[in-house]
Every structure is written in C-alpha cells, then in structure tokens.
Amino acid sequence: MKVFITREIPAIGIEILKKAGIEIEQWEEKRPLTQNELIDFCMQSDALLSAGYNNIDAYFLNKCNHLKVVSLHSVGFDNVDVAEATKLKIPVGHTPGVLNSATADIAFLLMIAVSRKAFYCYEKIKKGAWKFFEPTADLGIELEGKTVGIFGLGNIGFEMAKRCKGAYDMKVIYHNRTKNPKAEKELNAEWVSFDHLLERSDVISLHSNLSEETRGKFDRNAFQKMKRSCIFINTARGAIHNEEDLIEALEKRIIWGAGLDVTNPEPMDKNNPLLTMPSVAVLPHIGSATVEARNGMARIAAQNVIAGLNGEKLPFPVNPEIYRA
Ligand SMILES: NC(=O)c1ccc[n+]([C@@H]2O[C@H](COP(=O)([O-])OP(=O)(O)OC[C@H]3O[C@@H](n4cnc5c(N)ncnc54)[C@H](O)[C@@H]3O)[C@@H](O)[C@H]2O)c1
Ligand SMILES: O=C(O)[C@H](O)CO
C-alpha cells in the first residue's frame, strides 16, 4: 500500500506510516503541486495525505476514485468537495482537537496586538520613527470587562472564549448553528442572533468553518452593524470576510481594527493596504504552528491513512455517513 504526501510533515507522522509498512512518496519541491501533478501522483498511490490545501474537487475525486482515503493535515476541510467524496464512498479524514490551544492563542494574540496597535508600533521603531514619548499618540483600547462575540463556537471558539473570560473577565456572547451547553455552563456564554452578535460585541472573533453558508458573511452590511470601536479577528478562513469591505470599514473608521491570521488569497500581497494600517495585525496563517499541534496533526493524519488503507473507519472522519448502511 502506498500513500502520497503533498508536503513535508512532522517526522512522527512518517514514523507511524513506516511502522505500519506503508510505502511513502512525498512531494519534495517548495512550490505547491498543480492539480494535474497531484492526479499523476495519486494514480500511483492508494491514499492521499494532503498537507497543503490542495484542491480536492469533484474533478480530482472522480479521476482518483480508486483512493481508499483522503487524509487532511488540517482540521478545516473547505478545500475538499466532501459531498462528492461521500458519493464516491471515499473517506475523508481531518485533525480536530490537537490544534485548539495553538489557534486560540493566535486569535487572542491578535486581539491584544490590535487593541494596542502593537504591530504598527513595532514597524515604527524599525523605521526609526520613534522619536520621543507622546502622551496622545498610538492610543489603544482596553479589553477588561468588554464583550467578545464568537462566531462559530466549536473547539477553537471555546478556547478563545475561555481565554477572553479568564484573562479579562469578558462577557462571552456567541452565534453558532447550535447552542453550546458547555460554554453556557462554564463561561456563562450567551447565544445571540447574528445581528445581535454584530451589534453588541466589542471584539468579534471568527471560528466557524468556511462553507457556502459562511463565505463572505462578514461583508459591508455586517461591518456597518458593528460598533465603531469593534475589533474584528479572523483565524478561521480568509474567505469568510470580504476583504474589500473590510478595508473600506477600516479606512472609513466604521470599525476600530482587525487582526487576521487568514486572508483571501493566501499569501497576502505585500502591498495590501491592510499592512500599513495602525490598528491592523496580520499573520501568515500560523494558527496551528506549534510543535505540539503540528505533531498531533501529523499523528492523526497518519492514523487516518492507516485506517483508510485497512478498510476501517477513520479515527477522525469528515464524512462518517459513508459508514452507515
Ligand atoms: N488559522 C489556522 O491556522 C487555523 C487552525 C485551525 C482551524 N482553523 C479554522 O478554524 C475552523 C474551526 O475549527 P474547529 O476545530 O473549532 O471546528 P469546529 O467544528 O469545532 O467548530 C466550528 C463551529 O462553527 C460552527 N458553524 C459552522 N457554520 C456555521 C454557521 N453558518 N453559522 C454559525 N456557526 C457555524 C459549527 O457549528 C461549529 O460549532 C476550521 O474549520 C478551520 O477553517 C484555522
Ligand atoms: O484548518 C487547519 O487545520 C488550519 O488552517 C491549518 O492548521
């Protein structure tokens, strides 16, 4: 049995696969694979371990419908046509849980960085523009006792809410498809409608999946409903907000600031106007970039491959319905 891996992953994942006697072929180049290259490699393999947001659409899946498993080295699965995989009975695996703390830390870091214009001030020093102490310059806003609105209160959203509550005694409100009893009990979190989330939050932090329902959901209309002092944080997926509308909202001071770990497209262009705005902080999609999280992701991704190749239920399937009936 052979697995094709689309980018270097932590050694622990390779060790697990080798121990299970699985042959490994890995993409060695730094550039991303084209879809045709991906198809060519997968034609010679029984499983795919996708570690670089490859486009796993209906065309790919139908060409490679012999695959026994598509294992993602990520929790997000918006790069996969899951409905088509399910139709073709190809199990898709992902890596939930192990990156909750790492990603919530980045959301929390961005929230504080934006509230105190930290990235902008750091750039100021590097440019030699720090001349003297100015009592009225670079003023931020404090977070203590404010309201954080979590959009998508699942695993990572819960960890972000916990940090906000614990560090700043923030009031937690959230908008999610379903209520989250654990967050309501432990964090006194309150479910609110989408409009109330926009209107009541001092900080809005996105933690939902990207889907056709959430694509572009944070647009001009949504920004206009937010407080003028609102800080907008996105560590979920860049396509959940509309970038043009976000730039406009910041330029016209409709909202106060924004912190992004994800952009659309990625990478962000180095001349993007967001990169020079005082109350904006941008990071290059490093939410899960800790040793602990990445090792956990590699381990789970390898375990999903092994289960798929053995014809067993994946430990972490995205489409568990293929095992029913
Ligand atoms: N920046 C990074 O490096 C990084 C790291 C990990 C995950 N992510 C992103 O974060 C997302 C969330 O990860 P998670 O592990 O917390 O997933 P999760 O499934 O535990 O939580 C997602 C939550 O969003 C909710 N949701 C989905 N669609 C919704 C909608 N239309 N309206 C309201 N709520 C909705 C779901 O009900 C769920 O509670 C991933 O899908 C991924 O895109 C980014
Ligand atoms: O979805 C994910 O897991 C992240 O975006 C990458 O770790």
If asked whether residues 302 and 272 sit together in one domain, one would say no
Q: pTM score, two decimals?
A: 0.98
Total domain count, the chain: 2
Does residue 325 carry a pLDDT above 90? Answer: no
User: Which atom number of ligand 2 is nearest to the Cα of residue 76?
Assistant: 1
Tell me, what DSSP letter sits at residue 82? Answer: H
Query: Are residues 12 and 75 located together in one domain of the fold?
Result: yes
Residue 34 confidence (pLDDT) above 80: yes
Q: Are the C-beta atoms of 107 and 235 separated by less than 8 Å? A: yes
Going from the Cα of 132 to the center of ligand 1, the distance in angstroms, rounded, reads 44
Catalytic residue among 241, 285, 294, 299: 285
Evaluate if residue 174 carries a pLDDT over 90.
Answer: yes
266, 292, 312, 321: the catalytic one is 266
Distance, in Å, from the CA atom of 129 to the CA atom of 123, rounded to the nearest integer, reads 9
Residue whose CA is at the smallest distance from ligand 2 atom 3: 74
The answer to the question of residue 23 being in a domain is yes
Interior angle at CA 106, CA 294 and CA 183, nearest 5: 95
How many Å lie between the centroid of ligand 2 and the Cα of residue 322? 24
- Nearest-CA residue for ligand 2 atom 1 is 76
In this structure, the answer to whether residues 207 and 268 fall within a common structural domain is yes
Whether residue 170 is contained in a domain is answered as yes
The 10s digit of each residue's pLDDT in 77-128 is 999 999 999 999 999 999 999 999 999 999 999 999 999 999 999 999 999 9
| Least confidently predicted of 159-163, 256-260, 283-287, 320-324 | 320-324
Q: Is residue 134 domain-resident?
A: no
Atom of ligand 1 nearest to the CA of 289: 3
Instruction: Say if 124 falls within a structural domain.
Output: no
Measured by CA distance, the residue closest to atom 43 of ligand 1 is 76
Ligand 2: lining residues by beta carbon, under 6 Å: 74-76, 99, 287-288
Could you tell me if 68 and 148 lie in one domain? no
Residue 313 has pLDDT above 70, yes or no: yes
Strand order from edge to edge, sheet including 231-234: 190-191, 171-175, 147-151, 203-206, 231-234, 257-260, 280-282
Percent of the chain residues past pLDDT 90, beyond the cut: 98
| Atom of ligand 2 at shortest range from CA of 77 | 1
ipTM of the complex: 0.99
pLDDT score recorded for residue 324: 85
As a whole number, the mean pLDDT across the chain is 98
Would residue 261 count as lying in a domain? Answer: yes
If one residue of 207, 235, 262 were mutated to test the ligand 1 pocket, choosing by the most ligand atoms within 8 A of its CB, it would be 207
Q: What is the pLDDT of residue 16?
A: 98
In the beta sheet, which residues pair with residue 190? 173
Q: Is 285 a catalytic residue?
A: yes
Q: Domain for residue 111, yes or no? A: no
**What CATH number is attached to the domain comprising 248?**
3.40.50.720
My answer on whether 211 and 85 are in the same domain is no
Atom of ligand 2 nearest to the CA of 262: 5
Tell me, yes or no, whether 166 and 187 share the same domain: yes
Pocket test for ligand 1, best of 75, 101, 288 (most atoms within 8 A of CB): 75
Q: Is residue 115 part of a domain?
A: no
pLDDT in tens, 176-207: 999 999 999 999 999 999 999 999 999 999 99
Which ligand 1 atom minimizes the distance to the CA of 153?
Answer: 39
Judge if 143 and 229 occupy the same domain: yes
Active site residue 266: yes
Pocket of ligand 1 (CB under 6 A): 75-76, 96, 99, 103, 152-157, 175-178, 207-211, 213-214, 235-237, 261-262, 285, 287-288
The pLDDT-based confidence of 52 (bands split at 50, 70, 90) is confident
* Domain limits for position 37: 2-98+290-323
Residues 80 and 6 in one domain: yes
**120 is a domain residue:** no
* CB-CB contact of 164 with 157 (8 Å): no
Same domain, 51 and 147: no
**Together in a domain, 77 and 159:** no
Give tens-digit pLDDT for 275-289.
999 999 999 999 999
Q: 236 alpha carbon to ligand 1 midpoint, in Å?
A: 6
Q: 264 with 296, same domain? A: no
58: helix, coil or strand?
A: helix
Domain co-membership, 174 together with 205: yes
State pLDDT tens for residues 207-222.
Answer: 999 999 999 999 999 9
Rounded to whole angstroms, how far apart are CA atoms 114 and 104? 15
How far does residue 183's CA lie from ligand 1's centre (Å)?
15
